[in-house]
Amino acid sequence: MIRFDKVVKRFGDVTVLRELDFHVRPGERVTLIGPSGSGKTTILRLLMTLERVTSGTIEVDGQYLSHMRRGDRLVPADERHLRQVRKKVGMVFQQFNLFPNMNVLRNITEAPVRALGVPRDQAEAKARELLEMVELADKADEHPSRLSGGQQQRVAIARALAMEPEVLLLDEVTSALDPELVSGVQCLLRDIAQQGNLTLLCVTHEMRFARDISDRVLMFDQGQIVEEGDPEQIFTEPTHQRTRDFLQAVL
């Protein structure tokens, strides 16, 4: 579903990703862990086409992000191609990023209506179903500012799912929350991860959450994967010294 092939990303003189290769299979749930500044968020931003690779290629569901096929040649992607690939990928951010001037229902329906052309009544019916799922059915008419952080994050999750993405990216989704709100959001995401056949790529500092929701964990350091394995192996018998040091510091 996702394939990075020799991806290099530089910001000025700083090389953030160094010939990075990795893939995520359809329906697989993968978590990226590693020290701050190791390039994890950059990977998600590349997948959202918020950044462009310096070199190398990224594919989502068989389509290149930065290029498109024309006959047997690859040419730079145009806006139409990018829009199409973007539809496959949803993201939930650390800071929720809800539209402050729209009520909850509108926050969820706006993108399906505008970007996918879903009729408004259909989008609203779906949004109400999703609000039911995130246990906020009674907040449809509220504005985000009237909700707690945990509730805002659950709206953001519903909003991402309303686009019916193939891939859901989660970027430190609980780190801006008060501690007592964290477990509600994590449980919801664990249920979503276990139910659907959504492909999940998650960045988190919460190791218990990583363990709960992942099939595979990738340990990053300085823009490269230093170790990968199933959560049990990574968290109980990491083989790499850098993974051991990192886990010792965060656990």
Which residues are near ligand ADP by CB under 6 A?
A: 11, 14, 16, 36-42
Give the nearest distance from C-beta 50 to ligand ADP in angstroms: 9
Phi, psi of 177 (to 5 degrees): -95, 150
Radius of gyration of the chain (CA): 18
When the beta carbons of 46 and 158 are compared against ligand ADP, the nearer one is 46
Contacts of 117 (CB under 8 A, 6+ apart): none
When the beta carbons of 33 and 158 are compared against ligand ADP, the nearer one is 33
Helix/strand/coil (H, E, C) string of 104-166?
Answer: HHHHHHHHHHHHHCCCHHHHHHHHHHHHHHCCCHHHCCCCHHHCCHHHHHHHHHHHHHHCCCC
Give the nearest distance from C-beta 130 to ligand ADP in angstroms: 28
When the beta carbons of 13 and 180 are compared against ligand ADP, the nearer one is 13
- By the 8 A CB rule, do 157 and 188 touch? yes
Give the nearest distance from C-beta 49 to ligand ADP in angstroms: 14
**Cα–Cα distance between 27 and 24 in angstroms, integer?**
8
Give the nearest distance from C-beta 44 to ligand ADP in angstroms: 8
When the beta carbons of 41 and 151 are compared against ligand ADP, the nearer one is 41
Give the nearest distance from C-beta 54 to ligand ADP in angstroms: 12
When the beta carbons of 124 and 221 are compared against ligand ADP, the nearer one is 221
Give the nearest distance from C-beta 32 to ligand ADP in angstroms: 8
When the beta carbons of 111 and 210 are compared against ligand ADP, the nearer one is 210
Which residues, listed in sequence order, are joined to residue 55 by a DSSP beta bridge? 8
Give the residue ranges of DSSP H helices in 48-97: 79-86
- Number of neighbouring beta carbons within 10 Å of residue 248: 9
Angle among Cα 187, 193, 199 to the nearest 5 degrees reads 150
